[in-house]
Amino acid sequence: MTSAASDRARAVLDYHERTKHHFHRMARSSGFMEWANQPDPFRRYAGAGLVSLPLASRDPDLGYDGLYASAAPAADSSPVLAMVNCKPVTQQMYDMHLRQRQIRRPTDEQNNNRELVLEEVINLELVNQDAERKGIADRPDVSAQLAQQRRALLAGIAMQEYVKDHPVEDADLQAHYDKQFGASQEFMARHILLNSRDAAVAAIGSLDKGEDFAELAKQHSTGPSKSVGGDLGWFEADQMVPEFAAATAQLSNGSYTKEPVKTQFGWHVILREDSREVPKPDLATARPEIEAEIRQEHVAQMVRDIRAKADIEVKGPGGEQ
For residue 276, what are the β-bridge partners? 186
Question: Which domains does the chain show, CATH number per domain?
Answer: 3-154 (no CATH), 170-177+281-309 (no CATH), 183-277 (3.10.50.40)
Instruction: Specify the pLDDT at position 28.
Output: 38
Instruction: Specify the pLDDT at position 30.
Output: 39
pLDDT in tens, 276-321: 998 889 999 999 999 999 999 999 999 999 999 999 999 878 766 6
Return the sign of the alpha-carbon dihedral for residues 262, 263, 269, 272: negative
Rounded Cα gap, residues 139 and 160, in angstroms: 31
What does the chain come to in residues?
Answer: 321
Q: Report which secondary-structure segment, H or E, holds 301.
A: helix 283-309
- How many CA atoms, within 13 angstroms, populate the side-chain half-sphere of residue 198? 0
Burial (Cβ within 10 Å: 0-12, 13-18, ≥19) of residue 90: buried
Query: Which residue, among 196, 197, 191, 199, has the nearest Cα to 218 in the 3D structure?
Result: 191
Q: Which residues of the chain have pLDDT under 50?
A: 1-72
Instruction: Specify the pLDDT at position 321.
Output: 62
CA distances from residue 30 to 123, 124, 130, 131, 234 in whole angstroms, order as listed: 7, 9, 17, 19, 54
Instruction: Specify the pLDDT at position 74.
Output: 53
End-to-end CA distance of the chain: 35
Instruction: Specify the pLDDT at position 316.
Output: 79
Q: Report which secondary-structure segment, H or E, holds 141.
A: helix 140-165
Query: Which residue, among 261, 20, 5, has the nearest Cα to 145 in the 3D structure?
Result: 5
Instruction: Specify the pLDDT at position 279.
Output: 84
pLDDT in tens, 96-141: 999 999 999 999 999 999 999 999 999 999 999 999 999 999 999 9
